[in-house]
Structure 1
Amino acid sequence: MNQELFRPLQPAAPAQSPVAALQEEAAFGARELDGILHAAEGNVSGGMSLVAPWLAFMDWGAHLANAPMRRLELVRAAAHQWRRLAFADGGATSIVPPPTDHRFGDAAWRKPPFNMFANAFLLAEEWWAMAASGPAGVDRGNQRVVSFAVRQLVDVFSPSNFPWINPEVIRATKDTNGGNFVAGAVHLLTDLQESVSGRPCGPDELRIGRDLAATPGKVVFRNDLIELIQYAPTTAEVRREPVLIVPAWIMKYYILDLSPENSLIRNLVAQGHTVFAISWRNPGPEFRNATLDDYRAKGVIAALDAVSDICQDAKVHACGYCLGGTILSIAAAAMARDGDDRLASVTMFCAQTDFTEAGELQLFITEDQLAFLDDVMRAQGYLDSRQMSGAFRLLRSNDLIWSRLIKIYLMGERDHPNDLMAWNADGTRMPARMHGEYLRRLFLDNELAEGRFTVGGKPIAISDIRVPLFIVGTETDHIAPWRSVYKIHLLNDADLTFVLTSGGHNAGVVSEPGHPHRHFRVGHRPLGALYIGPDEWLADAERREGSWWPAWWNWLDSLSSERIAPPATGSKRYPAIEDAPGQYVLEH
């Protein structure tokens, strides 16, 4: 193991007076003891600070107490909701839930007495959303926390969560003579077993290397953080410029190499490209001091060095997904600053470079939360994937928590395992130091967008990237909202193609040709063109049916040179080590 990953968290302090040293030692001891307490709290709260919501509700409550007219307005609103409920139950038009709310989609919810339960809940939900919006003067961050917390609490009392007033559960119970609850109990035991073991226990388990991540190739480079996979060509000739894929290390890389029919990597190889992909290591506590710059240098740059050697110094089309796209933009900006011109283009899928509008994830990125999370990670050496996935599920609790619990444990139904579900369950850990730097420097302090992010002791700027850019956002992304992704238009005036595709953070990217109900919009901004806002862009961009993948392939072809015989697998300096998908993707 490379010892560079284990350097001290902070540099040694200069010599101090005995009194100052004693005070510092006492303060350090107090911090350590507090950190142990916070780590224990984090094991109960899923890594969430218990102080942040308390402070938010104090702020909200104090302002509401000092706003009597606002309270009167809420009373009037409550009376109005009661009138609406009376009219709806009397035969008026039922209360219509938002399009994204699928809890009451079954026709039985529109018939007595179940429509009364649904109408009452939806009206109450509207009122609580209004009440949580708070009076003027509440801190914006606290306002988001209160609204989010109230929404989570109200969702608990949805009539769909109670089997005796849920018509779908009642119907399933009649149809199966109670067998749905027996099946639900079996599913519960299976899920508990998986939770303890950390591995799938069902009979239909999809296997990496056989069903997933199965595109043929070789691992041609390995260091402490990555394995680099070179995929075997399937065409007689390939474009001279290879493609290097930099996935996020929050999850395993094979989101882009799922089943053969929807593998972006396999399709890209079939288009006549030499494709390389980074497979990140799943770090344990020994990686606690790995930095964000380690992921740039030992990840992106190390892979680029290998690709350049294997492909005889051909320029490279670099592609990054999510956090992988962010680290790629950092690497590309540093390369541009230093005169390194090995990139032919940069593609980023759902990757942010400006974090001022990072969506609901900002709920979890506050000074209080990060200080608490630092203590949790310091005790573990990493952030566990279960702690991260809990926060992501809360962002879509109706779909990812409550609806799932009802379907599996009350209805006794379970979705047949698919490749995307298997990948989503295959989480990874995040090194403590790296994750803290990422959240604080990028999310909280927005150093990258503001030109204060340093590489090698000197600042970098996204504006220095001069190669063509291909940027993809997805319409319903809760992790990297597309308007946030779009902000790269403000940071860089190079030739830029922007695609907005249907779907969310994952399903919008895994959008192979032939996938039903897919559409996208694409727009091109030439070098030096004037800025167009996201809403204006959306109004002008033509909607196209189908997958956006062919548009990307055509863009890559337009920036590539002649076709040549496929390069050898590996090189003298980077020989093939073993078959893809390698070892790191199998680590748990």
Structure 2
Amino acid sequence: MTTNSSDTGQPSAEALARMTENLTKVEGLRDRLTAVLANRNTHQASLDGPNQELFAKAAKAYMQEAMTNPAKLIEHQLEYWTKSVTHFVEAQQALARGTLSAPQDRTGTDRRFTNPMWEKHPYFNFLKQQYMRNSEALAQAVEDVEDMEPHEKKRLKYFSRQIIDMMSPTNFLPTNPDALQRAVETEGESLIKGLENLISDLEANHGELIVRLADEDAFELGGNIATTPGKVVFRNRMFELIQYSPTTEEVHGTPLVVFPPWINKFYILDLKEQNSLVKWVVDQGYTLFMVSWVNPDASYRDVGMDDYVLDGYLEAFAQVKKITGEKRLNAVGYCIAGTTLSLALSLLKQRGDDTVKSATFFTALTDFSDQGEFQPFLTDDFIEGIEAETKDKGILPSIVMARTFSFLRSNDLVYGPAVKSYMMGETPPAFDLLYWNGDGANLPAKMAMQYLRGLCQRNELAEGGYDLCGHHLVLDEVDVPLCAIACETDHIAPWKDSYRGVQKMGSKDKTFIMTQSGHIAGIVNPPSKGKYGHYTNKDLTLNHEDWLAGAKFTDGSWWPRWEKWLRKRSGAMIPARIPGEGGQEILCDAPGTYVAVKARG
């Protein structure tokens, strides 16, 4: 790349032309940025962080500790000062030797600092080492706070971790060697592209900054994702019902209906042919129905959990029975849809309705006594902020949930992608899982608050019962044969909490499987990959630690084990059912229309 005239040392005409072009772009981008910020949709300020009371309590507790045990505080301060001063002296000595080298680095490795300059260049190494020491000191200070309630201490740890992650030198252009090198190599073009990416993300979310994780232009619903053939055979205000086309000459008589979470889109189970649970189930000889939930707008503000049960679950059951002519069916609920499936089963029990022959729960919580990593967001200040937001907008916008989930893994889902997109000017990758992750759905105002207050905060279903649809619903009345799959590293529905809820269910026929990996990869784990194994133990009377200690580990996917369990409860083989046969109306091809509705802002 020619940047200077060979005879004068001045920038070449070509370089000046590129610079002028870049400056012209800046003018246009500035106008776009001003416009999007001027018309930015606002949200409740309380959703951006905890109220100041948390930090005030922490400061008070820290000062009390300093007064009652000053030696401990002084010891930690001296340790931090000693490390910092020693680091400074070693850096000075390295420079005094006249070589551009860094002193010995004792801070360990971190995948944010993979560029060799973090280790070899004295400036960047000094920044990295000092950041690591500052992080350690802050984490230790939080750990030393003792006079706080456990749930407040947990929140303090979470939000202090967010501050530590945010302040990483990799997140700022002057202290990120990768971004600086790219800017020099591209004569600033990477920064222009980064600014374009930033403004595009702001425009896509009405001024809210949500980092785009995937190249949205690389995917088409029904084109290269969500491609399993099927037909939409029913639609109401809550969902579309997809019946998938058979791939076998015969199928099991008992149909299977899957309820995905309405926080996200159903096609996580049908991303592509190689890892599609939908296709795999159809290929095993089952008549499979999928519920595709509506993506609600403000007109759904008064839709509650009862609407999801009555107009969602029970209506889907009725339609599947009508279409197939069967009196009974098997049901699957994933995440919040599994929680709600347990409510529907208790309701059916009280009504004397045996429609559901068996139930499968994918990473579903029914006992929220341990709120896990979501505990920082389930305190009154945040819930009150969400309540104000839903009253204002009629929905809990998908971007609120997206931010919450993302900051549970902030380096992977916020700062890392932001650096690549905004400072390096890179186009987000064409990654189907990340595309799905960014294709969220809104929640109706009433439903969101019922779920957060009654189920998450007060844990009513597991502790006495949950009032819904004119009934008092309890876990003990979930007495159909059930299979629950939980994931070992799930940070959304921890496996031990899922296990505890299953223990409280009334069924005498229970199977519990704990698969390796997390909330998504643990479920979307096709046998062909041979990637993650799973644990089983028939004794569900044990606490979760003893259950795992006595569990048998099996290599490979849990899908075949579950299918074997399902097969025993799915009846004799019959001729395959074709969507639309018997005069059933076909509304459109899969994946339908509801799944295509985007939730922006």
The TM-score range, normalised by the shorter chain, is: 0.7 to 0.9
Instruction: Show the 5 A alignment for 1:187-586.
Output: 187-196=197-206, 204-492=217-505, 494-515=508-529, 518-525=531-538, 529=539, 531-570=541-580, 575-586=585-596
Cα distance in structure 2, aligned partners of 1:280 and 1:530: 33
**Alignment check: 8 A CA contact 1:356 1:446 kept:** yes
**Alignment check: 8 A CA contact 1:497 1:522 kept:** no
Query: 1:171 Cα shift?
Result: 4.4
**Alignment check: 8 A CA contact 1:245 1:319 kept:** yes
Which of residues 115, 119, 126 in structure 1 aligns to 2:129?
119
**Alignment check: 8 A CA contact 2:367 2:461 kept:** yes
**Alignment check: 8 A CA contact 1:64 1:71 kept:** no
**Alignment check: 8 A CA contact 1:476 1:503 kept:** yes
**Partner SS state of residue 218, structure 1:** strand
Cα distance in structure 1, aligned partners of 2:52 and 2:190: 40
When residues 154 and 576 of structure 1 are mapped into structure 2, their CA distance, relative to the original with a 3 A threshold, is same
Cα distance in structure 2, aligned partners of 1:42 and 1:330: 36
When residues 49 and 173 of structure 1 are mapped into structure 2, their CA distance, relative to the original with a 3 A threshold, is closer
Query: 1:307 Cα shift?
Result: 1.0
Residues 1:79 and 2:78 aligned together: yes
Cα distance in structure 2, aligned partners of 1:393 and 1:537: 31
Cα distance in structure 2, aligned partners of 1:265 and 1:203: 23
**Partner SS state of residue 242, structure 2:** strand
Gaps of 5+ in 1: 1-40
Query: 1:177 Cα shift?
Result: 5.0
Match in the other structure for 2:118: 109
**Alignment check: 8 A CA contact 1:88 1:95 kept:** no
Cα distance in structure 1, aligned partners of 2:547 and 2:87: 40
**Partner SS state of residue 478, structure 1:** coil
**Partner SS state of residue 258, structure 2:** strand
359-368 or 277-286, which deviates more: 359-368
Counterpart of 1:165, as a letter, is T
When residues 334 and 134 of structure 1 are mapped into structure 2, their CA distance, relative to the original with a 3 A threshold, is farther
When residues 315 and 46 of structure 1 are mapped into structure 2, their CA distance, relative to the original with a 3 A threshold, is farther
Counterpart of 2:596, as a letter, is L
Query: 1:467 Cα shift?
Result: 2.5
Gaps of 5+ in 2: 1-39, 91-102
**Alignment check: 8 A CA contact 1:475 1:501 kept:** yes
**Partner SS state of residue 204, structure 2:** helix
Cα distance in structure 1, aligned partners of 2:564 and 2:450: 37
**Partner SS state of residue 48, structure 1:** helix
Cα distance in structure 2, aligned partners of 1:235 and 1:71: 74
**Alignment check: 8 A CA contact 2:368 2:455 kept:** yes
When residues 300 and 69 of structure 1 are mapped into structure 2, their CA distance, relative to the original with a 3 A threshold, is same
**Partner SS state of residue 527, structure 2:** coil
Aligned residues: 541
When residues 286 and 464 of structure 1 are mapped into structure 2, their CA distance, relative to the original with a 3 A threshold, is same
Cα distance in structure 2, aligned partners of 1:227 and 1:46: 36
Query: 1:294 Cα shift?
Result: 0.7
Cα distance in structure 2, aligned partners of 1:205 and 1:352: 34
Counterpart of 1:59, as a letter, is K
TM-score by length of 2: 0.83
**Partner SS state of residue 559, structure 1:** coil
Cα distance in structure 2, aligned partners of 1:415 and 1:500: 33
Query: 1:511 Cα shift?
Result: 2.0
Cα distance in structure 2, aligned partners of 1:238 and 1:341: 22
When residues 416 and 367 of structure 1 are mapped into structure 2, their CA distance, relative to the original with a 3 A threshold, is closer
**Partner SS state of residue 499, structure 1:** strand
**Partner SS state of residue 43, structure 1:** coil
**Partner SS state of residue 519, structure 1:** coil
Counterpart of 2:359, as a letter, is V
Query: 1:514 Cα shift?
Result: 3.2
Which of residues 141, 145, 158 in structure 2 aligns to 1:148?
158
TM-score by length of 1: 0.84
Cα distance in structure 1, aligned partners of 2:533 and 2:83: 39
**Alignment check: 8 A CA contact 2:43 2:389 kept:** no
Q: Deviations over 1:422-457 (max 9, x none)?
A: 212212111101100000000001011113212343
% identity of equivalent residues: 34
When residues 511 and 84 of structure 1 are mapped into structure 2, their CA distance, relative to the original with a 3 A threshold, is farther
Cα distance in structure 2, aligned partners of 1:88 and 1:351: 49
Query: 1:539 Cα shift?
Result: 3.1
When residues 172 and 214 of structure 1 are mapped into structure 2, their CA distance, relative to the original with a 3 A threshold, is same
Match in the other structure for 2:99: none
Bigger CA radius of gyration: 2
